[in-house]
Structure 1
Amino acid sequence: MTELLARTVSVAKQGNILVATVDNPPVNALSHSVRSGLIAAVKALESDAEAHAMVIVCDGRTFIAGADIHEFKKPMVAPLLGEVIDTLDAATKPIVAAIHGTALGGGLEVALACSYRIALEGSKVGLPEVKLGILPGSGGTVRLPRLAGVEQALAMISEGGQISARDAQEKGIVDEVVSGDLKEAAIAFTGKVIADGARLRRTSDLPVPAFDAAVLEMSRAALAKKYKGFKAPLVAVDLIKMVTETPVAEAIALEYKTCKELLVSPQSKALRHIFAAEREALKIDGVDAGVKPRDVKKVAIVGPGTMGRGIASCFLNIGIPVTLIGLTDEGLASAVRAIGKIYEGSVKRGSLSSEEMERRMALLTPTTSYDGIADVDLVIEAVTEDMAVKKDVFAKLDAVLRNDAIVATNTSFLDIEELAGSSRNPARVAGMHFFNPANVMKLLENVRAASTAADVLATTTALGKRLGKVPVMVGRSEGFVANRMLSKRTREAQFLLEDGATPLQVDRVLTAFGFPIGPFALADLAGMDIMAAARAARVARMSLREQQCNIVDRLVAAGRLGQKSGAGYYVYDENRKASHDPAVDELLEAHRKERGFTARTISDEEILERCLFAMVNEAAKILDEGAAARPSDIDVIWTNGFGFPTYLGGPMFYADQVGLPKVKAALDKYAGLVGDQYFKPAALIERLVAEGKGFYG
């Protein structure tokens, strides 16, 4: 055995049992050395007459957590995982998989090919390949239904979720759940197997349990609705159907063929890109990986409005006490009730116990005074978007906080440098920009100022992960990354109405592209008064055409505030179902007449290109300015913040797939049609096209 193989898979003998230990940090991925080592371990078992069985166990924090994703980008080197699985399946002596942490993807397929599986209490198993646009390719779809049944297996494979060891035992996937020392428990379990005759139990020999064929079509319909636009979940239904009708060897071959086809599909490339990008986003540009985040045990939040309430619940969810500071007792009481309602909804859905709700609410302390927060580790201000108001809050915080407490602002648009400069200790100031509703949305835009300390940046990133968010570090920029790009899409959507498009057409084009909701339906949902207030806050910095494109103000003046008033861009029935309203056509025509526009026929292609490429162009400027460290960070922001379809990889990845020369040609075209100030290609796009490159090289 080579030195590399000896380091990743070692074999030791305990009595008549071989113990194969996988040690491939950090997650024991199925890299080439692990695959080769497992085959060598089985050969050692077969060649040792005194060895009656073998245990496969892993060092570190987890069992085999799946394939080595880095190998996806280059030709795989034999032995492939399928050969490992075949070797395990063909073994003439029983093999026991001892699971701790997570057994995911290929890791679970390895376990399924063993005769027996035991799992440590608290461990989880799953086949998450669908989240990367692929499906199991080494027998997972063939073996899992034979143990768990078709319906349970299909749910796990088509949605990629993880289940607990106890749940896996109930489903027949795991034979025994143990506590304490896993290796000792596995050896004891294997000893009993040997004492009982060392009986082999090949999953591949089991029949598929009887099932209702209607389950497949019901699942197909549900998946098509839940995962609109995604290919792999529906292919999973076809694959499971095939497995139920096909001999094992043939089914395994067809499964592998399907997996290979999906692996080279555009969707899988995009989803794997996002998977890697989210991990890359955790690396803070200019901050050494060894910088340790500060410990955050207690926080204060200033501002009990919608955002403050949502942010507070995020911290309460992970057991961190929150002091919520407001101006009035009435406002605080309203905030406490609203937070309670968030949890009451979870209790009604069965996702939260009443006891846990009470525990979380007990961590909340509402107050109108700043005096009791001298011991907090972090304060997040979430007051109104007014620089003077925020500076006043910062001054009050400076008077009471200890010097090493972090002060974070939730501002969406205001200058982080000016805010930091107003603090007596600018090094402790950063941005933590949550998205509404803060307790639901995954994206967290962390914002760095020039003087923000490295460990403060590390803390906001680590804290974002603790909160269950997807944190991305961005720099100084009006609107930062997400809202700055969104403002360009919003501008073009409004301009398109002036040019002759309808709200319904724009929304239809963008939802057909893959966004969960169109910009005008979204505005109606948020409330036109909210949209008008946001516009008013920025109108002085807008171009003349943007200032005069006051369609939102006209809707508000007409009392059309969106869903809350029963009418906005659309009219709503008692169930809030939207439909076209001729009154909006009249309002738009009056606006065009006043502004001197003549409505023309707008193609779907023009709508899509103007809305998307305006965003891509702005993103290129953001990258050039250094407000985002990497194009992949922008993709993470847009897939997690505004519903850009993950199966298209985010706006920057998508632009590269379209081709930057085509993007530039479209920008040039619309610069002539709409105006140079709106569509002149960014300098970065000009340079990349000239060099024959894309955002990703």
Structure 2
Amino acid sequence: MSAANYQQYDQIAVIGLNHPPLNSLGHELRIAIDALLQKGQDDPSIKAIIVMSQLDVFCAGADIREFGLPAAAMEPNLRTLIEHFEVSKKPVIAAIQGICAGGGLELAMAAHYRVAQSNTEFAFPEVKLGLLPGAGGTQKLPRAIGVESAIKLMINGNFVKGSELANTNLIDCIVDGNFLAKSIEFAKSIIIEHKPLKRLRDMQLAHIDFSIELAYFLKPYYKNAAHYPAPIAIIDSVKDAITESYEIGLQHERERFIELSNTSTSRALRHAFFAPRACQKIPGISATTPKKKINSVGIIGAGTMGTGIAINFLNANIKTIILDQLPTALDASLEKINKYYQDSVKKLRLTTSQIENSLGNLKTSSRYEDLRDVDLVIEAAYEDLELKKSIFKILDQVTSKDTILATNTSTLDINEIAACVSQPEQVVGLHFFSPANIMKLLEVVRANSTSDTVIATAFSLAKQIGKLPVLSGVCDGFIGNRMLEHYGRMARILVEEGALPWDVDKALEEWGMGMGPFRVFDLVGNDVAWAVRKRRYIEKPHIRYGKVADEICLLGRFGQKTNKGWYHYEIGSRDPVPDPEVEKIIIAYRKEHGISPRDFTAEDIVKRCIFALINEGARILEEGIALRASDIDVVYLTGYGFPRFRGGPMKYADELGLGNVIDELNTLYQESGDPFWRPAKILEEYAAAGKSLN
């Protein structure tokens, strides 16, 4: 089947883009468009040419499968195709519906006229890949919709409805209903009225004084604007559109595009874009792998996590039973769910009828027998192995042999849990992240016996409830929390040795982390990590954990829930305030244990914490707990606030160079004597072979 087709309606040629699923402008489609455009040019009976889509989208932009490959530049490339549109002796009309983004929008702007449906969505998402529109977009969009509107659209990368752009030079006519017929009617009017061949590139922008502050544009979108060069390059290109000729502006735009594509930020953002797609590829599992349809789910535990998990399924219109032995816990859960939906109505996220439908799928119970017929059970009880094993023994007695049994444990051995049931192949880990109804990451943990059907079902279900699944093997903490343990451990050791909690947080937040570790500890609850450390002291007595944290917990400073932890919190506020009392506790601890404090630079702090993530991540990859390095990056980008402009801990290691990473790890080992800092073998093997992790 051709990527585009050609039909003639009297004097009008219609080129129909037909390259599923998104009409991406790969080489095949570019060739087809160019050939059919020429066909229309060569036919003397044709007086106008319409370019539209046979799909629900006009064109979503470049073909991501060609990124970095020679096919992306093969003729006709996008710039050549745009030139052929512009120099056409016959009017070219872009009839736009669905999505028109990136290169697709640049192609549409090369047409002489544009008609669009009111609900058509326009965007330049290149900025999200650390790039700018590279085929004239920065020069034409200001001419089409105005300078300020163009800058905002390009630097936020979000979609704008056609109805919002109706009175601009971008859209000549809004067409709703009978789209093809009305587009042809519009084309005929151009012929009859002998309208000129308009080109956006020929429009003149007034030489206004471009004095608007950069921060005015950047502040709403970029917390770490200094790390994102693309928005600044976009603004500079728009300045060229105002002050230079179109040809010079186009030349500068191309130079900036090439320069941006070679930045670490763009490499990181492109990696962050492709990595979630790679996560879905699991050896041995394909589109033909059988999946179980999940129509009903039971959730054991009506606490914060169980309640958040339930909301995901209610939002997806899946029948949900929350089970807890405590009536007060069930009442509290219902209250939280009702409040969530009330807030959703106030914020216009959901309608009243949608909420009624969701709540109609909810039941509560204190009887395990009520879970007999559900398709999936998710245990979200307290993080205690014996408790979880006892729950699974009960589930083995009351549920169907086809019921998938999942645990939400964040650290415990799922193989031990699976051993408690008669069909261990039905057991899987579904590790949601808190708050479970908001965080998109879902670690799908495969135990030794978990079947392919259960894994395939988990990945399909994750998509249904709006989560991003990443496969993990069984180990203590899986991918995310296993790495986090050493990240947090190094942060606490830094405090013992001379830093203060707010110094550590500031250094890491300025480096790009969404929240410093001590703010995270307070948010999650210091008692949670304390319970894990108590187990670690027994299981891993040789590892240094930084016990000043225990002193904080012994004083009942559990974080935000007690209004004091590593920080002080005013009642009703979540803003952390450095607390002199904490500093006194730390100083006393150092004195008691004979620790002479030393000074740490921000670079020292970042190096210890981030290199801890890299080294442990490499071990996880080496052991096969993660399928690929990019899966580890997805976990940290999606669930742990790792900065997207750095691409994830493993991508960051690649950017540094694995040889440099190994040198730094060896230095840390020599300074501390901590065997943790010995470089993971896979780092040394890859460095010796000249390979990168990703």
TM-score between both structures, scaled by the size of structure 2: 0.92
Shift of residue 623, structure 1, vs aligned partner: 1.1
CA drift of 1:94 comes to: 2.6
Superposed, which structure 2 residues align to 1:348-497 within 5 Å? 348-497=346-495
Deviations 1:508-536 (A, max 9, x none): 22112110111012212223233323433
Output one character per residue of 1:79-105: Cα deviation in whole Å (capped at 9) or x when no partner: 321221222123232323344442221
Distance in 2 between residues matched to 1:172 and 1:428, nearest whole Å: 59
The Cα offsets for residues 565-585 of structure 1, whole Å up to 9 and x where unpaired, read as: 343223344654434333222
- Cα distance in 2, alignment partners of residues 545 and 42 from structure 1: 69
**Structure 1 position 145 matched with structure 2 position 142:** yes
Equivalent residue runs for 1:151-300 within 5 Å:
151-167=148-164, 169=166, 173-174=170-171, 175-179=173-177, 183=180, 186-187=183-184, 189-191=186-188, 193-194=190-191, 197=194, 200-206=197-203, 214=212, 217-225=215-223, 229-300=227-298
Pair 1:89-2:86 in alignment = yes
Alpha-carbon spacing, 1:374–1:51, altered in 2? closer, same or farther (3 Å):
farther
TM superposition shift of 1:54 = 1.8
Which residue of structure 1 aligns with residue 332 of structure 2?
334
> What is the SS of the residue equivalent to 2:544?
helix
Q: 1:69 maps to which residue? A: 64
Shift of 1:505: 2.1
Gap runs ≥5 in structure 2: none
- After superposition, the Cα gap between the structure-2 partners of 1:79 and 1:501, relative to the gap in structure 1 and judged at 3 Å, is same
Give unmatched runs, 5+ long, in structure 1: 1-5
Encode CA deviations 1:385-414: one digit per residue, 9 max, x unaligned: 112222232233333333222222111011
In structure 2, what is the Cα distance between the partners aligned to 1:80 and 1:635?
A: 33
3-state SS of 1:178 partner: coil
Amino acid paired to 1:511: E
Q: Work out whether 1:502 is the aligned partner of 2:500.
A: yes
Compute the displacement of 1:207 (Å).
5.4
SS, match of residue 565 in structure 2: coil
Kept in 2, the 8 Å contact 1:133–1:268? The answer is yes
Cα deviation digits, residues 335-384 of structure 1 (max 9, x gap): 11112222333333333334433332332222222333344322221111
Distance 1:217 1:544, change over 3 A: closer
Which residue of the partner structure matches residue 690 of structure 2? 692
Q: What's the secondary structure of 1:97's corresponding residue?
A: strand
Tell me how far apart the structure 2 counterparts of residues 365 and 642 of structure 1 sit (CA, whole Å). 32
Name which of 554, 557, 562 aligns with 1:560: 557
Q: Provide the rounded CA distance (Å) in 2 between the counterparts of 1:388 and 1:153.
A: 59
* Deviation per residue, 1:300-349 (Å, 9 max, x gap): 22211111111111122222232222222221121111122223333333
Provide the rounded CA distance (Å) in 1 between the counterparts of 2:435 and 2:168: 36
Question: In structure 1, how many angstroms separate the alpha carbons of the residues matched to 2:373 and 2:183?
Answer: 47
- CA positional deviation for 1:168: 5.1
Which amino acid is the alignment partner of residue 143 of structure 1?
K
Query: What's the CA shift string for 1:422-441, capped at 9, x where partnerless?
Result: 22222222111111111111
Residue 56 of structure 1 corresponds to 51
CA distance, structure 2, for counterparts of residue 463 and residue 152 of structure 1: 39
Tell me: CA distance 1:535–1:99, structure 2 relative to 1, closer, same or farther (3 Å). farther
| From 4, 10, 18, the counterpart of 1:23 | 18
Using the alignment, how far apart are the partners of 2:24 and 2:601 within structure 1?
Answer: 48
The letter of the residue matching 2:35 is A
2:316 to 309, 315, 318: 318
| Counterpart residue number, 1:8 | 3
Matched, 1:45 2:40: yes
Moved more, 583-592 or 628-637: 583-592
Task: Decide whether the 8 Å contact of 2:408 with 2:432 is kept in 1.
Answer: yes
Give the structure 2 partner of residue 648 of structure 1: 646
For 1:148 and 1:321, the matched residues in 2 are separated by: 47
User: 1:591–1:216: structure 2 CA closer, same or farther, 3 Å change rule?
Assistant: closer
Q: Which residue of 1 aligns with 2:299?
A: 301
1:119 and 1:290 mapped to 2: Cα distance?
Answer: 39
Structure-1 residue corresponding to 2:77: 80
Equivalent pair of 1:220/1:237 in contact (CA under 8 Å): no
Mapped to 1, the partners of 2:356 and 2:210 lie a distance apart of: 42
The residue type equivalent to 1:331 in the other structure is: A
What is the DSSP-based 3-state SS (H/G/I as helix, E as strand, rest coil) of the residue aligned with 1:286?
Answer: coil
Deviations 1:612-671 (A, max 9, x none): 122111111111211100011111111111111111111111111111111111221222
1:3 maps to none
Looking at structure 1, the residues matched to 115 and 306 of structure 2 have their Cα atoms a distance apart, in angstroms, of 45
Name the CA distance, whole Å, in 1 between partners of 2:660 and 2:210: 50
Q: How many aligned residue pairs are there?
A: 689
Corresponding residue for 2:132?
Answer: 135
Change (3 A) 1:185 1:401: farther
Instruction: Give the structure-1-normalised TM-score.
Output: 0.92
Alpha-carbon spacing, 1:354–1:155, altered in 2? closer, same or farther (3 Å): farther
Alpha carbons of 1:568 and 1:429: their partners in 2 closer, same or farther (altered >3 Å)? same
The residue type equivalent to 1:402 in the other structure is: S
Could you tell me how far 1:606 is from its partner in structure 2? 2.7
Task: Write the mapping of 1:92-107 to structure 2, written as runs, cut at 5 A.
Answer: 92-107=89-104
Q: 1:381 to 1:37 in 2, by over 3 A?
A: same
Contact 1:219–1:237, Cα closer than 8 Å, also in 2: no
| Structure 1 residues 15 and 377, CA gap change in structure 2 (3 angstroms) | farther
CA contact (8 A) 2:302 2:322 kept: yes
C-alpha separation in 2, matches of 1:641 and 1:526: 13
Q: Deviations over 1:198-223 (max 9, x none)?
A: 66443334455999964865223334
SS at match of 2:67: helix
Aligned-pair CA distance for 1:537:
4.5
CA distance in 2, matches of 1:452, 1:31: 39
1:131-172 residue CA offsets vs partner (Å, 9 max, x unmatched) = 100011112233333333334333321111123454454777
Task: Give 1:551 deviation, angstroms.
Answer: 1.8
Q: State yes or no: 1:633 paired with 2:631.
A: yes
CA pair 110-293 structure 1, distance change in 2 beyond 3 A = farther
- Cα distance in 2 for residues equivalent to 1:170 and 1:445: 47
Range moving further from structure 2, 558-567 or 253-262 = 558-567
CA contact (8 A) 2:523 2:559 kept: yes
CA–CA distance in structure 2, aligned partners of residues 362 and 69 of structure 1: 42
Residue by residue over 1:536-566, the C-alpha shift from the partner in whole angstroms, topping out at 9 and shown as x without a partner, is 344422334536x322221122233333434
Query: Is it true that 1:535 corresponds to 2:533 in the alignment?
Result: yes
Q: Distance in 2 between matches of 1:227 and 1:318?
A: 36
Q: Tell me the equivalent position of 1:109.
A: 106
Quick one: percent identity of the two aligned structures? 37
Q: Is the 8 A contact 1:285 1:629 kept in 2?
A: no
Distance in 2 between the 1:156 and 1:366 partners?
46
Preserved contact between residue 118 and residue 174 of structure 2 (Cα < 8 Å): no
The range that moved more, 481-490 or 99-108, is: 99-108
Deviations 1:48-74 (A, max 9, x none): 211122222334553322112343314
Q: Go from structure 1 to structure 2 and tell me whether the alpha carbon gap of 1:314 and 1:629 turns closer, same or farther (over 3 Å shift).
A: same
Amino acid at match of 1:687: E
Task: Give the 3 Å change call, closer, same or farther, for CA 467–186 of structure 1 in structure 2.
Answer: farther
CA distance in 1 between partners of 2:302 and 2:163 (Å): 41
Asked whether the equivalents of residues 121 and 179 of structure 1 are also in contact (C-alpha less than 8 Å), the reply is no
Structure 1, residues 185-237: CA drift from partner, whole Å, max 9, x if none?
64455455545556644333445599996486522333444756322233333
User: Which amino acid is 1:114 matched to?
Assistant: A
RMSD: 2.7
Inter-partner Cα distance in structure 2 for 1:421 and 1:123? 54
Aligned partner of 2:612 among 605, 611, 614:
614
